[in-house]
Structure 1
Amino acid sequence: MEFIIQKTLEAVQTLYNQTLTSSDITLQETRKEFEGDVTVVVFPFTRFSKKSPDVTAQEIGEFLKQNVTEIADFNVIKGFLNIVIDDSYWINRYKTNASTSNFGFAPSNGKKVMVEYSSPNTNKPLHLGHVRNNLLGYSVAQIIGAAGYEVIKTNLVNDRGIHICKSMLAWQKFGNGETPESSGLKGDHLVGKYYVIFDKEYKKQIDELKAQGLAEDEAKKQAPLIIESQQMLQKWEEGDTAVIELWKMMNSWVYAGFNVTYNNLGVNFDKYYYESNTYLLGKDIIEEGLAKGVFFRKPDSSVWIDLTADGLDEKLVLRSDGTSVYITQDLGTAELKHDDFQMDKSVYVVGNEQDYHFKVLFLILDKLGKSWAKGLYHLSYGMVDLPSGKMKSREGTVVDADDLLDEMIDTARQHTEDLGKVDDFTEEEKIELFRKIGLGALKYHLLKVDPKKRLMFDPNESIDFQGHTGPFIQYTYARIKSVIRKSEQADFAGIVPETINKDERELIQQLDKFPTIIADAAENYNPASVANYLYELAKGYNKFYHDNPILKNEDEELKKFRLALSSLTADVLNRGTSLLGIEVPERM
């Protein structure tokens, strides 16, 4: 509330002859047990008022009430100045918000942000951890876009390396020409199957070599399969035609499989980068860093950077044989992406096990004098746990993303049918509804928790229609749409009352927060802010709906206003859930 900040600055200047700036004023939402809408923290002002917090708050409160027509009253509790905003202010806010197209979303600010997420390996299907990554990255991109930025969604695919060769070699040896078409498997599942086969056969060879007297470490190095996979990688890097063709064929299977999963998840990308194209990048940057004295060369010709003064350690950036390490190509890829898009900020959505890597990467780029390094951000997120035995796992170790989606939709079907809510739906309508509820439950449950926190995902809990869940929000939206349909009213838009009651006022206040919630979520890369706001809004609407007759109201103008207020609530729920990648059904 900028007008309160400005008038508080004026009060401090008038009362205490002290000039402050907006950043010196702290406003908080008034605690529910006290009367008021906004609280001014006055404790910092006592150093120049030379009075107690209570007296200082009282003096500022009296000034504000006398000089600001929107302030109806105030009270002081233990030095906190609680301000009551006049109903006329909230009626005007409602009028403005209801008439604003795309309310909550900011106009373009001319700035550009890249969000990189997903980043899968092409030797196995996506799993539960990837699901959190994809949903988080997509939602952050949506929120940043709603805050006025141009957003580029990118996916850096790890499509080369020894792990890829393991799947290729196992398919060559044990596949008998099997394809996704002949097996009926999605391409990523088929390739993942051979990655598992490689591991099993490799372990057998290790055990055989150990039985012949080799130590385990030596057996791991001498097992024929690992030697052959290393030779295959070398051939790939040398451009061997047969290996490259096999790699292209199996990768194409994986990409087709990934695309099905991405489509089912409802995520997409504007640009793909492939490590097979970027793994040689970064060597020019190493030469640049050596010339600038940022890096140093050891006697064995390896290149390092000393980060001990920054509380870290020495970091290898180029091996003695001149080959890259992982951070080398990350340096090059970071520069390539900036050259391609000239973005103001770049967000990497990667699990918290890579915290150290990104700290080093950003620090090196900064030391190299890359002006854009200050705009790099690692959105670090925690693991997802499941209650033991709750979900299927295709390979027995991780929960496959496709299995997870199927089970969520099936769980939604069971819950919805048990409640008898779809008796009048056609079969096609049921299928679509179960998909929206199942995915909405999954997405909301994974996004309502701060990304940095590890979380427990319980499929059944996530689909509770009365809990802190996506389906509760979806149901609230569907309820509003049902009320509007039953009203058979088409001309309630633009209805503005002269007075409002307490419940109407509270709902208007909740709606008014929407633009600020989006701006804060974008600044902090935190979809949980939006998710939890939507839950509170849905909860607030249901209380309003329960206590305030709409269709049965005999006052026609009041009925129209409440329909209009309901309609704006539905619009905000729809826009807000879209930022989480959640679809809302028109009826449930």
Structure 2
Amino acid sequence: MIQSDLVSCVQQGLKKLHQVDVEQIELQPTRKEFDGDITVVVFPMLRHVKTNPVTLGNELGAYVLEHMDEVSGFNVIKGFLNLELTDQYYIDVLSKISGEEKYGIQQSYGSKEAVMVEYSSPNTNKPLHLGHIRNNLLGYAVAEIIKASGKNVYKTQIINDRGIHICKSMLAWKKFGNGETPQSTGMKGDHFVGKYYVKFDKEYKTEIQAMIADGIAEDEAKKKAPLLLEAQQMLLKWEAGEQETVALWKKMNGWVYGGFEETYKNLGVDFDSYYYESDTYLLGKDIIEEGLAKGVFFKKEDNSVWCDLTAEGLDEKLVLRSDGTAVYMTQDLGTAVQRVKDHPDINGMVYTVGNEQDYHFKVLFLILKKLGYSWADHLHHLSYGMVDLPSGKMKSREGTVVDADDLIKEMERTAEKISSELGKLDGYTLRQKQELYHVIGLGALKYYILKVDPKKTILFNPEESVDFQGNTGPFIQYTYARIQSILRKAKEQNIIQSTGQLDELHVKERDVIKQLEVFPDAVQQAAEQHSPAIIANYTYELVKSFNSFYQNVPILGTASPEESSFRVLLANKTAQVIKEALAMLGIEVPERM
């Protein structure tokens, strides 16, 4: 990258012209309305040099022009020095890019630093829904981006497989299921179990209404409804290890896991390890003892254990109940430490969890730091907002949830409808069409969600997401397929890809190479900020630049073979970067559309 050379040259210029040492030199891309490629911000230098910004800009511009072969000219607008780079510089950039098989992607082989990314983490009493889709897509994309930045990555989830909500599904199936199974009903396992979670809620509400009709207060009825009391008894039996209850728990969880795996496969996400709350809920008590010994925690008169965080602007946090049982914080402390024991190379963790848990993770990370764990400085809560459909919010208990499997199918149908209207699938077999609808539909869903800053709430519109124009997944996929068509024709014409003897570039060629040049920086920035949106929007800008190039400059029918060779190479490298960028987002690219 030329930036470091430019910084050195400007520093040398300041030293020679004004005898000052300036450590920080600010560079930025030149704004589109001005001539130039890289802009040096002159204003901050005026603290060291007593002159006006235009004079200093012109002095530095002349110095850089004289001392750097890559600079062909400059102009000064107020306090901004806009430098123009030579065509040869950009030709050399493309030549360098073409020599790298995985341009912009850092290999993690030999890296001693690993990051664990947690995502999905569902309950085993219902199928995955739209909120889980955003969670999975964010977590998977961040894991792939961190991996591309050169670190080892472990993808994991903690499955919430115990508790009263699990017992509600179990009890409802035991009472009302008549022995039916996912196999006997033809239902997906997670949908089957979710049906009984909804059934429990319906029967529970019926009991409450009957109790209210008998004169019992509503609050009392909610606490003493026979079905709820029975579910609470079932939880006690599970915790006591009662054989029949544990066997039912294992059977119904097995149904759910089979359904989850099918959804994950359809969604295109995967995991390296699984943690289960039934294993981890006992973890952390030894850490509480350790914290008490260190003075990080304190006991109250009732024997409950707390952490005082008031000095940090938070409150006192319960970490162990008075009867010695764990709370979620106990468990999360223990699980974090256990993960580092399981993977000693972990030097950071990313928790993909909704923004309603912001405070919880602020407290968790702070307590781990107080306990003295060095890796606690590298913990990140990938907090995200809700996803809603135009039809409104979702409620799992009432069965009004937007199911993940249904949404994937809906995206495929939407892709089929719009693709058929465009009429570009002549010659495709039925199977090829179905595969394409899946790739386009999922690509639309993933891109629509990932292009938005995670913290923002999304109103997801399936029709809008499958638009073949604008900042959408299908628009980017279509550009990739268009390039593949160009490359096939170039091969038929025996055009050899090369930077050749070309010494002059069209402005549209320069624009595309500029975008390609910053891809490695975009990957590193996205990894540091845990933001797939940076990769998504980078890819859109690259695609816009390429389409402008495609519409203004002939690629195959050029005046000289050298131009065709260069432009086909440029198209090829653009396609490769599009493919690599979308792969980080979990999006496939079709060879034809």
**SS of 2:336's equivalent?**
helix
**Which residue of the other structure, out of 321, 324, 330, is the alignment partner of 1:322?**
324
Within a 5 Å distance, the mapping from 1:533-552 to structure 2 comes to 533-552=538-557
Q: Provide Cα deviations, 1:442-484, integer angstroms capped at 9, x if missing partner.
A: 0000000011111121100101111210000000000011111
- The answer to whether residue 366 in structure 2 is matched with residue 363 in structure 1 is yes
- How many angstroms apart in 1 are the aligned matches of 2:135 and 2:210? 39
| Displacement of 1:16 | 2.7
**Which residue of the other structure, out of 411, 416, 420, is the alignment partner of 1:413?**
416
- The answer to whether residue 234 in structure 2 is matched with residue 229 in structure 1 is no
- The answer to whether residue 169 in structure 2 is matched with residue 167 in structure 1 is yes
| Displacement of 1:494 | 3.2
Letter in 2 for 1:92: D
Within a 5 Å distance, the mapping from 1:430-579 to structure 2 comes to 430-487=433-490, 488-489=492-493, 492-496=496-500, 497-579=502-584
| Aligned CA-pair RMSD | 1.6
Letter in 1 for 2:533: A
- The answer to whether residue 95 in structure 2 is matched with residue 95 in structure 1 is yes
| Displacement of 1:394 | 11
| Displacement of 1:491 | 5.3
Letter in 1 for 2:55: V
Which has the larger displacement, 213-222 or 283-292? Answer: 213-222
Q: Using the aligned pairs only, state the percent identity.
A: 60
Which has the larger displacement, 385-394 or 314-323? Answer: 385-394
CA contact (8 A) 2:450 2:532 kept: yes
CA contact (8 A) 2:394 2:401 kept: no
| Displacement of 1:418 | 0.8
- How many angstroms apart in 2 are the aligned matches of 1:455 and 1:36? 37
| Displacement of 1:174 | 0.5
| Displacement of 1:100 | 1.1
| Displacement of 1:393 | 10
| Displacement of 1:553 | 2.1
Letter in 1 for 2:274: Y
TM-score normalised according to structure 2 size: 0.97
**Which residue of the other structure, out of 189, 192, 210, is the alignment partner of 2:191?**
189
| Displacement of 1:12 | 2.2
- How many angstroms apart in 2 are the aligned matches of 1:394 and 1:367? 39
| Displacement of 1:211 | 2.0
CA contact (8 A) 1:474 1:585 kept: yes
Letter in 2 for 1:256: G
- How many angstroms apart in 2 are the aligned matches of 1:232 and 1:129? 29
Which has the larger displacement, 534-543 or 241-250? Answer: 534-543
**SS of 2:48's equivalent?**
helix
| Displacement of 1:509 | 0.9
Letter in 1 for 2:201: D
Question: What is aligned with 1:398?
Answer: 401
CA contact (8 A) 1:530 1:576 kept: yes
Which has the larger displacement, 379-388 or 142-151? Answer: 379-388
CA contact (8 A) 2:201 2:398 kept: no
**Which residue of the other structure, out of 280, 284, 287, is the alignment partner of 2:286?**
284
Question: What is aligned with 2:10?
Answer: 8
Question: What is aligned with 1:245?
Answer: 247
TM-score normalised according to structure 1 size: 0.97
Q: Provide Cα deviations, 1:268-307, integer angstroms capped at 9, x if missing partner.
A: 0000000000000000011111111111111111111111
Question: What is aligned with 1:42?
Answer: 42
- How many angstroms apart in 2 are the aligned matches of 1:392 and 1:499? 61
**SS of 1:72's equivalent?**
strand
Question: What is aligned with 1:218?
Answer: 220
- How many angstroms apart in 1 are the aligned matches of 2:234 and 2:21? 72
CA contact (8 A) 1:11 1:63 kept: yes
| Displacement of 1:338 | 1.0
| Displacement of 1:390 | 12
Q: Provide Cα deviations, 1:51-101, integer angstroms capped at 9, x if missing partner.
A: 122222222222111111111111111111111111111111110011111
Letter in 1 for 2:430: E
Letter in 2 for 1:32: K
**Which residue of the other structure, out of 578, 583, 586, is the alignment partner of 1:581?**
586
- How many angstroms apart in 1 are the aligned matches of 2:197 and 2:494? 59
CA contact (8 A) 1:387 1:456 kept: yes
CA contact (8 A) 1:390 1:458 kept: no
CA contact (8 A) 1:138 1:267 kept: yes
- The answer to whether residue 266 in structure 2 is matched with residue 264 in structure 1 is yes
- How many angstroms apart in 1 are the aligned matches of 2:294 and 2:394? 54
Q: Provide Cα deviations, 1:100-128, integer angstroms capped at 9, x if missing partner.
A: 11111013343211111001000000000
Question: What is aligned with 2:104?
Answer: 104
CA contact (8 A) 2:94 2:499 kept: no
Question: What is aligned with 1:339?
Answer: 341
Which has the larger displacement, 345-354 or 491-500? Answer: 491-500
- How many angstroms apart in 1 are the aligned matches of 2:163 and 2:17? 70
CA contact (8 A) 1:135 1:447 kept: yes
5+ residue gaps in structure 1?
Answer: none
CA contact (8 A) 1:294 1:368 kept: yes
| Displacement of 1:20 | 3.3
Number of aligned residue pairs: 586
Letter in 2 for 1:239: G
Are the structure 2 counterparts of residues 362 and 390 from structure 1 closer, same or farther at C-alpha, using a change threshold of 3 Å? Answer: closer
Question: What is aligned with 1:32?
Answer: 32
Question: What is aligned with 2:385?
Answer: 382
Letter in 2 for 1:492: I
- How many angstroms apart in 2 are the aligned matches of 1:392 and 1:577? 32
- How many angstroms apart in 2 are the aligned matches of 1:506 and 1:82? 16
- How many angstroms apart in 2 are the aligned matches of 1:203 and 1:270? 41
Question: What is aligned with 1:17?
Answer: 19
Question: What is aligned with 1:71?
Answer: 71
